[in-house]
């Protein structure tokens, strides 16, 4: 049987999204039906709407979500009806070469639900990142459900499903920030402030936030940044060096995704320092760095995909830390909105007026 629900659908590149009826099947083998309670508006959703990810329209948008499991397929054992879960788009397979080597966070064969969600006329929908959670219910692979403490607010917990986890993981997992390190973060939106949060969690002695928007720099201070650099007024490389006794940062996290800011990150690190790219570039971007500088400066140049997280390990731990008051996840929620407000929230996100708008159902 199909469940009739309301969902936010992108029908064509750069067209306004529509709230329409979506048919969600009951779960089959390996699947789970989730009643969505909250879903953050992520920049990736806007990229899907604008055709920047693929042209497989129509898309059922939304992927940064939390909710309650309503039903599971006949062979599902690790997820149960009534579980409060954060949805992830990295359901590990347990069988690929990465998983077999004990590195499931790099799983090369992650999977989604098999059955399609559709419009009333039978048109199959492409769920954003295999989730499609701007809807009252969604169908996912059971492995995409990560059980967490139900004491957490859905609007807060769901943010771990993408951007906040990407930022925290870029600092803690990919960048391996540690006590006494100096960490700079270029770009202080939701992902960047997640990286600031991760650096503080890891015990960094100085956390330098870099952005062109004074509002975002103030937000970064609320997450624990010790220094700020207004890149509209100050050269970021010079600003980061000034904040690190002239040496550069041990770790620079680039959360913008552009060649210019990546080059700034490259030269703003200390000798043998690390650059982590977590900002998502577009397909047309190219990078030109002197190869001698890459060699001579040493260190490591890394990219961070989903913060190199392992949802079953990281989501419950971060939720618990949030409930204990040790990390301020609730500060990422700028506003709570309805499904009908998603289109207007894209404009506020573009203007830098919000860290996260969260759809609450």
Which CATH number goes with the domain that contains 111?
3.90.180.10
Same domain, 33 and 110: yes
**Tens-place pLDDT, residues 215-238:** 999 999 999 999 999 999 999 999
105 band by pLDDT with thresholds 50, 70 and 90: very high
Query: Is the per-residue pLDDT at 349 higher than 80?
Result: yes
Same domain, 155 and 251: no
Q: How many domains does the chain have?
A: 2
* DSSP codes of every residue in 17-69: PEEEEEEEEPP-TTEEEEEEEEEE--HHHHHHHTTSS-S-PSEE---EEEEEE
**Tens-place pLDDT, residues 280-293:** 998 899 999 999 99
Same domain, 93 and 229: no
| Predicted local distance difference test score (pLDDT) of residue 282 | 85
Q: How far apart are CA 18 and CA 139, in angstroms?
A: 20
Provide Rg for the chain, Cα atoms. Answer: 20
| Predicted local distance difference test score (pLDDT) of residue 90 | 87
Cα 169 from chain centre: 10
For the chain, what is the largest distance between any 2 Cα atoms, rounded to a whole number of angstroms?
Answer: 65
Q: Would residue 317 count as lying in a domain? A: no
Same domain, 210 and 152: no
Q: Would residue 69 count as lying in a domain? A: yes
Q: How far apart are CA 155 and CA 85, in angstroms?
A: 12
335 band by pLDDT with thresholds 50, 70 and 90: very high
What is the total residue count of the chain?
361
Same domain, 258 and 338: no
CB neighbour list of residue 84: distance below 8 Å, 6 or more residues apart: 66, 67, 68, 147, 148, 149, 150, 152, 154, 157
Same domain, 267 and 127: no
Q: Helices 214-222 and 190-201, interaxial angle, to 10°?
A: 30
288, 304, 320 - which closes a domain: 304
Same domain, 289 and 140: no
| Predicted local distance difference test score (pLDDT) of residue 347 | 96
Same domain, 243 and 283: yes
Query: Is the per-residue pLDDT at 106 higher than 80?
Result: yes
- In this prediction, what percent of the chain has a pLDDT beyond 90? 98
Q: Would residue 295 count as lying in a domain? A: yes
Handedness of CA 154, 155, 157, 161 (dihedral sign): positive
Same domain, 6 and 98: yes
Task: Encode 269-305: b = buried (16+ Cβ within 10 Å), e = exposed.
Answer: bbeebbbbbbbbbeeeeeeeeeeeeeeebebeebebb
**Predicted structure pTM score:** 0.96
Q: Please say whether the beta carbons of 62 and 133 come within 8 A.
A: yes
| Average pLDDT along the chain | 97
1 band by pLDDT with thresholds 50, 70 and 90: confident
Residue 149 φ/ψ, nearest 5 degrees: -65, 125
CATH of the domain at 299: 3.40.50.720
38 band by pLDDT with thresholds 50, 70 and 90: very high
Comparing 58-62, 105-109, 274-278, the range with the smallest average pLDDT is 105-109
Token code pair at residue 208: 């330098």
What domain range includes position 196? Answer: 167-304
* DSSP codes of every residue in 117-142: PEETT-PBPEEGGGT--SBSEEEEEG
39 band by pLDDT with thresholds 50, 70 and 90: very high
Q: Would residue 11 count as lying in a domain? A: yes
User: With 0-12 CB in 10 A as exposed, 13-18 as middle and 19+ as buried, what is 331?
Assistant: middle
Q: Would residue 315 count as lying in a domain? A: no
Same domain, 107 and 236: no
Half-sphere exposure of 149 (CA within 13 A, CB side): 14
| Predicted local distance difference test score (pLDDT) of residue 320 | 98
Q: Would residue 63 count as lying in a domain? A: yes
Same domain, 259 and 129: no
Q: Would residue 311 count as lying in a domain? A: no
| Predicted local distance difference test score (pLDDT) of residue 283 | 84
**Tens-place pLDDT, residues 45-91:** 999 999 989 999 999 999 999 999 999 999 999 999 999 999 999 89
Q: Would residue 28 count as lying in a domain? A: yes
| Predicted local distance difference test score (pLDDT) of residue 244 | 98
Same domain, 208 and 285: yes
- In this prediction, what percent of the chain has a pLDDT beyond 70? 100
**Tens-place pLDDT, residues 143-199:** 999 999 999 999 999 999 999 999 999 999 999 999 999 999 999 999 999 999 999
């Amino acid at each position: 049987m199909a469940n009739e629900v309301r969902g936010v659908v992108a029908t064509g590149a750069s067209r306004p999204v529509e709230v329409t009826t979506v048919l969600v099947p009951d779960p089959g083998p390996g699947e789970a039906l989730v009643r969505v309670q909250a879903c953050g508006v992520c920049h990736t959703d806007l990229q899907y709407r604008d055709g920047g990810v693929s042209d497989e329209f129509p898309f059922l948008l939304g992927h940064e979500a939390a909710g309650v499991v309503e039903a599971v397929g006949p062979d599902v054992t690790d997820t149960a009806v009534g579980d409060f879960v954060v949805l992830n788009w990295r359901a590990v397979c347990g069988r690929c070469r990465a998983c077999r080597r004990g590195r499931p966070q790099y799983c090369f064969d992650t999977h989604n639900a098999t059955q399609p969600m559709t419009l009333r006329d039978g048109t199959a929908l492409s769920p954003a990142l295999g989730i499609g959670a701007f809807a009252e219910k969604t169908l996912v692979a059971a492995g995409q459900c990560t059980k967490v403490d139900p004491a957490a607010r859905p609007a807060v917990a769901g943010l771990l499903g993408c951007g906040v986890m990407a930022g925290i993981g870029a600092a803690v997992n990919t960048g391996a920030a540690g006590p006494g390190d100096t960490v700079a973060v270029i770009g202080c939106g939701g992902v960047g402030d997640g990286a600031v949060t991760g650096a503080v969690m890891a015990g960094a002695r100085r956390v330098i936030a870099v952005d062109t928007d004074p509002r975002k720099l103030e937000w970064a201070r609320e997450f624990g940044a010790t220094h700020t650099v207004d890149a509209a007024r100050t050269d970021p490389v010079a600003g980061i060096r000034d904040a690190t006794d002239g040496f550069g940062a041990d770790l620079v996290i680039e959360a913008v995704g552009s060649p210019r800011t990546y080059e700034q990150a490259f030269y703003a690190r200390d000798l043998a320092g690390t650059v982590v790219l977590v900002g998502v570039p577009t397909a047309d971007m190219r990078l030109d760095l002197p190869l001698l500088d890459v060699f001579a400066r040493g260190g490591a140049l890394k990219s961070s995909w989903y913060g190199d997280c392992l949802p079953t390990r990281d989501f419950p731990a971060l939720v618990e830390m949030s409930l204990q008051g040790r990390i301020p996840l609730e500060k990422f929620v700028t506003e709570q909105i309805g499904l009908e407000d998603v289109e207007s929230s894209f404009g506020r996100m573009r203007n830098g007026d919000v860290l996260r708008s969260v759809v609450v159902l």
